[in-house]
Structure 1
Amino acid sequence: MTRSDSIDDAMGRIRSNTFSAIAKRTTTRRTRHRLVASAAAVVIVGVTSAAAVAVVQATQGQVNYTAECYGAADLAAVHGASYYLPGDLNEQSAIPLDERIALAKDQCGANWRIGKFEPSRDIAGVQAGTTVYPVPALQACQLADGRLGIFPSARTPAELCPELGLAVPRR
């Protein structure tokens, strides 16, 4: 064995050890990056979910004194928010559920009476207090933000709300 053979062997071992070390370090680094990325993704999902829940929840004043009135028993139907006056949107305590439902149905019924959900409504010149359009049976469901959704339906809330993916109103 010549000196050049032993140098070539030594260089081969060094090269092999160097490439093995690089491959091991690359694998370790890649694994670490994947773990950090996974942890970051979990944190981001958690924070955005918490933020979405915080944004979605209505204040107690809104829960007490606003409702969403729907033109059909369908969440995609024409709808609009109704506010009860002189309701205090800064209210901190809950009013009784029965009272909330009665207020919501009364307000949404007024929308039906003026023809808000009639495609060909023409209420020009109608005397104040005159019933222009019939009011269907109205049912209350609990929306995701805590407010009431009022839907025209002959079904009970126990039948209607789950079908719409909503809760039956609760205290």
Structure 2
Amino acid sequence: MLMAVVRDEDDIEVRLLAGRIRLLRRIAARRRGRRAAAAAAMLVVAGSGVAASVVVHRADAETIGTSVTCYAHADLGSLHGTSAMSSAVGAPVRQLSLTEKADMCALVWKSGLEQAAVDGGHWPDIDPNTSTLPVPPLAFCRLADGTTGGFPIEPPATTSRAVCDRLGLPLLT
């Protein structure tokens, strides 16, 4: 979440800064595919004497409840794909269960996640609905931005808890 600390709300520069922050928020959401990596920075508006802080981004409730990022390995730096469920315009947003998020990760794996990781990020042309590619057992952890991450349970870890602990993330159950 981006937040501005201001002194004079009537100041035009403050309103411009607020607009810039909204624009940065939209750009960041698009660039990250609606998931955010934890980051911190300081933004200073030159000449106005007004400063704004950019704090660690936390995904909004809708993104947290409707998306999952599926990783090729139990490593935050590994190739990954993000799946999100969207609602019809004007319809209430329904939060997905962990089982539904697991099903979404299964589709990412059946789309060739493992092959793409081996092939430098080039995804094969595979229909996940008819694919027979294997889906490994997955551990689901809470990522730094609040969203769900799905990781394969691979040695040395043998349990979901061990995978999340190794990554320094809380286990989702």
Same fold (TM over 0.5): yes
Q: Contact 2:81–2:113 at 8 Å: present in 1 too?
A: no
- Among 161, 166, 169, the residue aligned to 2:164: 161
Q: Contact 1:114–1:132 at 8 Å: present in 2 too?
A: no
Structure holding more helix per residue:
1
- How much is the aligned-residue C-alpha RMSD, in angstroms? 3.2
Please state whether the residue corresponding to 1:160 is helix, strand or coil: helix
**What TM-score do you get using the length of structure 1 for normalisation?**
0.56
Structure holding more strand per residue:
2
* Residue type at the aligned position of 2:167: L
TM-aligned CA distance change 1:91 to 1:63, over 3 Å: farther
In the TM superposition, structure 1's runs of 4+ consecutive aligned residues that sit over 6 Å from their partners are none
Whose Rg is larger? Answer: 1
Residue matched to 2:31: none
Please state whether the residue corresponding to 1:75 is helix, strand or coil: coil
TM-superposed deviation, 1:132:
3.1
Render the CA deviation track for 1:134-171: whole Å, top value 9, x for unaligned.
1111110001111100001153332211210111127x
* Residue type at the aligned position of 2:140: A
* Residue type at the aligned position of 2:105: C
Any gaps of 5 or more consecutive residues in structure 2?
1-41, 43-51
Any gaps of 5 or more consecutive residues in structure 1?
1-43
Matches within 5 A, 1:128-167: 129-153=129-153, 155-167=158-170
Please state whether the residue corresponding to 1:117 is helix, strand or coil: helix
TM-aligned CA distance change 1:157 to 1:123, over 3 Å: same
**What TM-score do you get using the length of structure 2 for normalisation?**
0.55
1:117 aligns with 2:114: yes
* Residue type at the aligned position of 1:107: M
TM-aligned CA distance change 1:122 to 1:69, over 3 Å: closer
State how far apart, in whole Å, the 1-side matches of 2:92 and 2:60 are: 8
State how far apart, in whole Å, the 2-side matches of 1:74 and 1:133 are: 21
**% identity of equivalent residues:** 28
